[in-house]
């Protein structure tokens, strides 16, 4: 049974029906400024925006509602977020935070405060450095090489997420920075907007390996090869790309026999699952095989029908002579496609 998702001041729960939502509202456990997500929907709505629920909301539950001001002002919660950020940040961020405060989203256009030109506020693709002494790292590891210092209040382009690190671009250099060293654009928005746009900044919460299986090839010509079949799911309203998976095989003692990071070519459409396959190079072509989403292969084969002859459902992983008894596939890195990148 489909359920309504409910978020009351940061606490998540669910309700099985509109009647259940009405009961929560009548008891004051759901206020007009709390947010709900209808069954099957990807957007979050304020409770007061739902006509069937509005009459059940108690007046006292509306007093502290975190709703955008109809006159275009800033909601109390958003003021609090900006104030907290300014207090926590150094003096170098103060002026920038004030600029952002003056362009908080309004209810009719929740992300118009994001200026794609970067002249005012932060764009979808940007994060603000808020940690003194932060550096751009070569890899997603504290022990990796420093590429360049990241000045306080500097803006950088967001390129993806890998565990607790963001991949960013700063002054032409690409690298990684801990996620707690920067502030993504949506931190300056209200709770509803944060939930709506969370996949842009935390894509790894919405993309996962839904199903994977491994088979040691019986063909003698493929000895030492394990055939991996994997399905990836995207449970967000944004397309996902730059996906990197990690295939790990272990022996009976739990020791890693093979661990391979595999970039997956293609764009995962919103709210969809897709299989991974391999497009082998044409005869005489020394290029490496292309690991890609089947959806993107289907588009490619329209212009190159013969590519079907080189397509394999799944991925071949070299294991060698060692025995394996355990295998897994996980998402290592992923990037959400921002609204500015989307084409009609």
Half-sphere exposure of residue 236: CA atoms within 13 angstroms, side-chain side = 26
Q: Is residue 236 a contact partner of residue 201, using CB atoms and an 8 Å limit?
A: no
Element (H, E) at 335: strand 326-336
Q: Which residues contact 16 (CB under 8 A, 6 or more apart)?
A: 1, 3, 4
pLDDT band, residue 220 (cuts 50/70/90): very low
Predicted pLDDT of residue 18: 87
Of 342, 339, 343, 270, residue with least CA distance to 110: 339
Predicted pLDDT of residue 172: 93
Residue 277 has pLDDT above 90, yes or no: yes
Predicted pLDDT of residue 69: 41
pLDDT band, residue 216 (cuts 50/70/90): low
CA 204 to chain centre: 5
Query: Which has the higher per-residue pLDDT, 246 or 74?
Result: 246
Of 144, 216, 229, 158, residue with least CA distance to 187: 158
Task: Tell me if the domain spanning 205-341 has CATH number 2.60.40.
Answer: yes
Give the residues across from 7 on adjacent strands.
12, 35
Predicted pLDDT of residue 74: 34
Q: CB 178: neighbour CB atoms within 10 A?
A: 15
Distance CA 52, CA 193 (A): 22
Top-ranked range on mean pLDDT: pick from 73-82, 109-118, 175-184: 175-184
Cβ contacts of 294-297, under 8 Å, gap ≥ 24: 295/266, 295/267, 295/268, 295/269, 296/265, 296/266, 296/267, 297/266
Instruction: Give the SS3 label for residue 318.
Output: strand
What's the mean pLDDT in 1-17? 76
Q: What are phi and psi for residue 133, nearest 5 degrees?
A: 80, 10
> How much of the chain exceeds pLDDT 90, in percent?
31
Each domain of the chain, given as residue ranges in start order, spans: 4-61, 76-197, 205-341
DSSP characters for 12-73?
Answer: EEEESSHHHHHHHHHTTSS-TTSEEE-TT-SS-EEGGG-HHHHTTS-GGGSTT--PPPTTS-
Superfamily of domain 76-197: SH3 Domains (2.30.30.40)
Query: Which has the higher per-residue pLDDT, 114 or 307?
Result: 307
pLDDT band, residue 197 (cuts 50/70/90): confident
Of 318, 302, 313, 311, residue with least CA distance to 279: 311
Query: Which has the higher per-residue pLDDT, 139 or 67?
Result: 139
What's the mean pLDDT in 140-149? 93
Q: What would the pLDDT profile of 25-62 be if each residue is shown by its tens digit?
A: 888 888 887 888 888 776 788 888 888 888 888 765 55
Q: CB 262: neighbour CB atoms within 10 A?
A: 18
What number of helices (H) and strands (E) belong to the chain?
6, 20
């Amino acid at each position: 049974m489909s359920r309504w998702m409910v978020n009351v001041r940061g606490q998540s729960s669910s309700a099985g029906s509109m009647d259940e939502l009405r009961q929560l509202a009548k008891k004051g456990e759901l206020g007009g400024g709390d947010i709900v997500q209808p069954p099957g929907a990807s957007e979050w709505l304020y409770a007061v925006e739902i006509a069937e629920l509005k009459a059940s909301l108690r007046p006292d539950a509306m007093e502290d509602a975190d709703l955008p001001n109809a006159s275009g002002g800033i909601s109390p919660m958003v003021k609090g977020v900006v104030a907290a950020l300014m207090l926590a940040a150094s003096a170098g961020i103060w002026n920038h935070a004030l600029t952002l405060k003056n362009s908080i989203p309004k209810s009719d256009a929740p992300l118009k405060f994001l200026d794609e030109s970067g002249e005012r506020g932060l764009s979808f693709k940007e994060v603000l450095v808020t940690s003194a002494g932060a550096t751009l790292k070569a890899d997603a590891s504290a022990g990796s090489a420093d590429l360049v210092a990241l000045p306080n209040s500097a803006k950088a382009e967001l390129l993806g997420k890998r565990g607790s690190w963001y991949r960013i671009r700063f002054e032409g250099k690409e690298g990684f920075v801990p996620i707690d060293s920067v502030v993504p654009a949506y931190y300056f928005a209200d709770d509803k907007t944060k939930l709506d746009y969370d996949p842009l900044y935390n894509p790894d919460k919405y993309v996962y390996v839904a199903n994977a299986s491994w088979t040691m090839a019986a063909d003698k010509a493929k000895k030492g090869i394990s055939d991996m079949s994997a399905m990836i799911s995207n449970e967000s309203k944004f397309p996902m790309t730059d996906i990197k998976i990690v295939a790990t095989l272990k022996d009976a003692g739990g020791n890693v026999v093979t661990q391979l990071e595999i970039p997956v070519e293609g764009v995962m459409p919103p709210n969809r699952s897709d299989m991974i396959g391999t497009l082998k190079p044409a005869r005489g072509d020394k290029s490496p095989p292309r690991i890609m989403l089947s959806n993107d292969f289907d588009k490619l084969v329209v212009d190159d029908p013969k590519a079907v002859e080189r397509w394999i459902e799944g991925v071949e992983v070299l294991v060698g002579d060692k025995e394996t008894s355990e295998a897994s596939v996980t998402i290592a890195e992923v990037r959400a496609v921002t609204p500015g990148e989307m084409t009609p």
